Amino acid sequence: TGSELLGLVKIALPALSDEGILDTIRGQNCIKLADEEYPVMSAGTMSEIGKLHVVLHAGLLEGLAHLAPSTSSAEANDEACDKLHFATLDGGDASVYADALLNWAVSGASLESLVETMGPSTLSAESLPAILSANSTSLSVGASNALAERIADQLNLRRGGKLSVVKLRDHLDSLASSLTALIDRLLLKSPLEVGRIIEDLRSLGPTLQLDRLQFVGMFSARSVEVSWEMCERFYELVTGGRSSVLPTARAILSLMQERAEVLFADKANNLEHVLLSKLAEKVDLKTLDVSLWWSFFGLYASSEGLLDREGIVRVLTVLLTGDDPVSPSRAAKDRLGSSGLCPADLNIAAGGLLRREASRRREEGQKREGRQEQEQQQMRQQGQWQRRPSQSPSDALRVEVLTDWLIEGAAQEVKQQVAATTTTTTTTT
């Protein structure tokens, strides 16, 4: 009902004979009312969105008894006891279950190094949460438990069961690649609206759980058509087929943002040039007091001097619009628009900066991490699973790094403009 209503199926029931009704009442028989496929009509447009096979019987419990599965209650209880349960899907844990694969895909995590270390070895089913947590710094304990339970369900793992490392890696890689490929298809349907769709998603807040109608509506609001087939495939992937769980806006936003930055890397680079050029027009680099910039940036940084994506966007907005950094005004968005940029553009540029800085840190730390990896491998071989040590967040930028990028980039833009002007003057002369 309400926002959860997707479609309707109309089923015409047959007329029943008096004799059939009497046999049914006596419990001697049951009557099959339907056993065929029916079209499912959209609740919004009344167009056909799929098929549903419906089987209906009428009768008392005695008459319907022969239709019940033959599995005994004892066997069912034994099977339930053998099933692995890592997560309690109540309240907030339900969204954690739906968000787990999204978070794994965003992190770009892989079990490749584990396969290289352990080869064809097998893992115990009970060790799944610890293994997932050890190989992804972005998964919380709850998310690791939820993803482990999902894998156990899909691969039919039971208590005391074994799973090969290669099969686990292949299963996770397949899920993550299917999800990212689907998101890529959605984003490429309308590249010009991607930034606005991401901003719309961000405005929903981090904890809102998106149902199917809200998900499709988010794209429809920007005139991007998303078929119900694509929508259902997305929800099947993120929920594992569980209708009781829904993903949060924050988890969907993270993956869309990450994929948009990969797909539109050229746009991010162009936006950086535009942004730095606009900044060069507004800032006198010769009289700039760097210490004042650091103090200003600190308003949006953490106590460790780190700026997250939102902080970077706010800093860039203030620099480009001259807005008050302490009491930002609504007019800043209009002034930003007059410069040919929008908040979505600054988000894309900020994402490009974060990805480039994360790549630089990875390259610089390869030797150090190589030694740490050897220690981790030794611990894995001994059955001691530990989370990978994290240096500094990949989703944050140090204040001094942003300052250097802005100053050096703006100075380079000034040089290029001067060079272009000189060339034009010489040519004219």
- Residues 100-149: tens digit of each pLDDT: 888 888 877 777 777 777 767 788 878 888 888 888 777 778 888 888 88
**Contacts of 193 by beta carbon, 8 Å cutoff, 6+ apart:** 222, 223, 224
3-state secondary structure of 26: coil
Q: pLDDT: is 267 or 169 the higher one?
A: 169
Residue 265 has pLDDT above 60, yes or no: yes
**Number of residues that this document lists for the chain:** 429
pTM metric for this prediction? 0.58
Q: What is the pLDDT of residue 182?
A: 92
For the record, the structure tokens of 108 come out as 């770009």
Helix (H) or strand (E) holding 233, with range, is helix 228-239
Question: If you average pLDDT over residues 57-84, what whole number do you get?
Answer: 58
Among 183-192, 236-245, 341-350, 389-398, the range scoring the smallest mean pLDDT is 389-398
pLDDT in the model for residue 178? 92
Structure tokens at 214: 């809200």
Query: 212 is written with which tokens?
Result: 């199917």
Lowest mean pLDDT among 209-218, 238-247, 350-359, 414-423: 414-423
197, two tokens: 């769709």
| Cα–Cα distance for residue pair 297/312, rounded to 1 Å | 9
When mean pLDDT is compared over 88-102, 250-264, 320-334, 415-429, the highest value belongs to: 250-264
Helices and strands per DSSP (H, E), number in the chain:
19, 7
Measured distance CA(86)–CA(256) in Å, rounded: 28
Q: Across the beta sheet with 7-8, what order do the strands follow? A: 7-8, 31-42, 48-58
Contact indicator for 237, 182 with CB cutoff of 8 Å:
yes
Predicted confidence band at 388 (pLDDT cuts at 50, 70, 90)?
Answer: very low
Residue 92 pLDDT class (50, 70, 90 cuts): very low
Contacts 24+ apart (CB under 8 A), 308-313: 308/393, 308/395, 308/396, 309/347, 309/350, 309/351, 309/354, 309/395, 312/346, 312/350, 312/353, 312/354, 312/397, 312/402, 313/343, 313/346, 313/347, 313/350
